[in-house]
């Protein structure tokens, strides 16, 4: 067990290094010209040369890689080509809004996805199963960006129930003091008892939250279904039934507890997907997170910013998967 965890952590570190290496190769080998970007469009050849030396691009590749790694180790992701601000500082400013969105949608996904999967497995090949399977496959087939617009159309334009976008209404922003403790707006407003702000923030997160949650709902439901179907075929389930245990207990306790491992993995996995999905959704809802940040970086070809978000998201994904694997391996009852 311990050796498995050590191996898994070592592999995780190797993978992290590989991720960084790939992003490095992307920035250096692909025919983009960071130096030209750095000095702007109308620069002379001399200026570009000077910029190359300034950015260390004249050095051999392995020296560049060394510097790149050293910078990364210090948390330095370079400077944005647009704002000339450190990317890491900008990321930090945009991150809380994204994390809030990801967390809310993941919680929603677990709350809806697991019962959906259980219902599906319980009545396999019946109507419930068909509907729930259709829904879960549908959820992973939806273009999230379009769903966001669709919801805006319905709830903002037609029903006039919910705000169009942003994290807070302008009027609230102007008339209320916005708490700033952890950077997580809903959390901060809740612990400071600022319920007006909290309510407004809640209204704002509903649409993007649902939009982002759809994909993980489908993922979690599908995984729960297939894991459960496998488990329901096990002898101990048949045995539990032969002891006359109520179906409720057999399904929700005996079977579901055994399927938590694969489900936990898929939740960890889906957080990674969700993070990337926010890239598409945040732009639509003017959500001030790293998704909006990367969308605008993509349009203006701000490579350090794109790279920064890429490295951050990939690392988050690797670490989440690592945690999921280790937690499962730590459980002494699970046969690895």
Partner 1 sequence: MTKSPGIINSIKPRIREIRLSLYLLGRNRLTRLSLGVVILLVLTALVAPFIVPYPEHIEAETNPVDKLLPPSGKYFFGTDELGRDIFSRVIYGTRISLQTALIAVGLALLIGIPLGAIAGATGGMVDEVIMRITDIFLSFPPLLLAIAIAAFLGPSLENAMLAIAVSWWPWYTRLIRGQAVSIRERQFVKAAKAIGTPPARIIFGHIVPNCIAPVIVQASMDIGGVILTIASLSFLGLGAQPPTPEWGLMVSTSRNYFLNAWWYSIFPGLAIFVTVLVFNLLGDGLREILDPKTRKI
Partner 2 sequence: MGEYFKIKDLRVGFKTFEGHKNVLDIDTMVLNKGETFGIVGESGAGKTVLALTILRLLSSPPAVIESGSILFNGEDLLQKPESEMRKIRGRHISMIFQDPMSTLNPVFTVGEQIIRVFRNNKRISRKEAEKEALGMIEMVKLPDAKNIMGKYPHELSGGQRQRIVIAIALSCGAEFLIADEPTRNLDVTIQAGILKLIAELQRELGVTVLFIANNLGLVSAICKRVAILNAGRIVETGSVREVLKDPRHPYTLTLLNAIPRNKGERVNRVNTTIKEERDRDLRGCRYYSRCVEKREVCRDSEPVPGLILGTHWVACHRAFEGGEPGGGQHTEG
13 binds partner 1 (CB under 8 A): no
The structure tokens listed for 237 are: 């389930």
43-82: contacts with partner 1 (CB under 8 A): none
Kindly list the residues in this chain that would bind partner 2 in the complex (CB under 8 A): 233-236, 238-247, 249, 254, 257-258, 332-335
Q: Which stretch in 1-9, 66-74, 190-198, 312-320 sits in contact with partner 1 by CB under 8 A? A: 312-320
**What secondary structure letter does DSSP report for 246?**
-
Distance from C-alpha of 249 to C-alpha of 47, rounded to nearest angstrom = 73
Instruction: Look up residue 155 and give its DSSP letter.
Output: I
Please report where in the chains the tokens 């617009």 appear, as a residue: 149
Q: Given the complex with partner 2, which of 232 and 284 has the nearer CB atom?
A: 232
Burial 53-70 (b: 16+ CB within 10 A, else e): eebebeeeeeebbeebee
* Binding partner at 317 among partner 2, partner 1, none, C-beta below 5 to 8 Å by kind: partner 1
Is residue 166 left, alpha or beta, with left meaning phi > 0 and alpha meaning psi from -120 to 50?
left
**CA–CA separation, 228 vs 83, rounded Å?**
51
- Using CB under 8 A as the binding rule, the residues of this chain from 189 to 248 that contact partner 1 are 230
Place of tokens 């009852």: 333
The listed partner (partner 2, partner 1, none) that binds 246, CB under 5 to 8 Å by sort, is partner 2
**Interface pick for partner 1 out of 272, 288, 289, 304 (rule CB under 8 A):** 272
292 binds, among partner 1, partner 2, none (CB under 5 to 8 A by kind): none
30 binds, among partner 2, partner 1, none (CB under 5 to 8 A by kind): partner 1
Q: How far is the CB of 270 from partner 2 (least distance, A)?
A: 23
Q: Which residue has the tokens 């500082």?
A: 89
Cβ–Cβ under 8 Å, residues 59 and 277: no
Q: Is-contact 116 132, C-beta < 8 A?
A: yes
Residue count of the chain: 336
Residue written as tokens 């952590």?
Answer: 9
Q: Coil, helix or strand for 159? A: coil
Candidates 37-45, 183-191, 199-207, 297-305 — which segment interacts with partner 1 by CB under 8 A?
A: 297-305
Partner whose binding site includes residue 249, from partner 2, partner 1, none (CB under 5 to 8 Å by kind): partner 2
Q: Compute the half-sphere exposure of residue 14: CA atoms within 13 Å on the CB side of its CA.
A: 6
Nearer to partner 2, 139 or 240 (CB): 240
Question: Quick one: 195 or 236, whose CB is closer to partner 2?
Answer: 236
Examine residue 23 and tell whether it contacts partner 1 (CB under 8 A).
yes
CB of 269 to partner 1, least distance (A): 9
Collapsing DSSP states into helix, strand and coil, what is residue 79?
Answer: strand
Nearer to partner 2, 100 or 325 (CB): 325
The structure tokens listed for 137 are 């496959």
> Residue 172, Cβ neighbours under 10 Å: how many?
17
Using CB under 8 A, list all residues that contact partner 1.
11, 14-15, 18-19, 21-23, 26-27, 30, 32, 130, 133-134, 137-138, 140-147, 149-150, 152-153, 156-157, 230, 272-273, 275-277, 279-280, 283-284, 294-295, 298-299, 301, 303, 306-307, 310, 313-314, 317-318, 321
């Amino acid at each position: 067990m311990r050796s498995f965890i050590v191996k898994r952590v070592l592999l995780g570190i190797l993978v992290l290094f590989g991720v960084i290496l790939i992003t490095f190769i992307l920035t250096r080998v692909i025919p983009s010209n960071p130096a030209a970007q750095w000095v702007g469009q109308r620069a002379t050849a001399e200026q570009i040369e000077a910029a190359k030396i300034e950015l260390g691009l004249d050095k051999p590749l392995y020296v560049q890689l060394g510097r790149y790694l050293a910078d990364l180790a210090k948390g330095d992701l370079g400077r944005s080509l647009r704002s000339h601000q450190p990317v890491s500082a900008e990321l930090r400013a945009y991150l809380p809004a994204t994390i809030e969105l990801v967390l809310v949608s993941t919680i929603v996904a677990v709350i809806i996805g697991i019962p959906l999967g259980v219902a599906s497995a319980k009545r396999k090949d019946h109507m419930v199963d068909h509907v729930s399977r259709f829904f879960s496959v549908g959820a992973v087939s939806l273009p999230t960006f379009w769903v966001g617009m669709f919801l805006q159309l319905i709830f903002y334009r037609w029903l006039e129930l919910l705000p169009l976008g942003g994290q807070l209404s302008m009027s609230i922003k102007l008339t209320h003091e916005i708490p700033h403790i952890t950077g997580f707006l809903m959390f901060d407003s809740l612990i400071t008892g600022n319920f007006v702000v909290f309510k407004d923030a809640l209204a704002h997160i509903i649409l993007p939250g649902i939009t982002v949650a759809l994909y993980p709902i489908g993922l979690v439901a599908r995984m729960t279904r297939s894991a459960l179907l496998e488990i329901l075929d096990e002898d101990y389930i048949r045995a539990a039934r032969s002891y006359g245990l109520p179906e409720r207990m057999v399904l929700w306790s005996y079977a579901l507890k055994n399927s938590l491992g694969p489900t936990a993995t898929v939740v960890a996995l889906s957080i990674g997907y969700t993070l990337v999905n926010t890239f598409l959704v945040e732009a639509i809802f003017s959500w001030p997170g790293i998704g909006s940040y990367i969308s605008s970086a993509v349009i203006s070809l701000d490579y350090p910013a794109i790279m920064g978000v890429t490295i951050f998201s990939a690392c988050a994904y690797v670490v989440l998967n690592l945690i999921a694997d280790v937690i499962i391996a730590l459980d002494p009852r699970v046969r690895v």
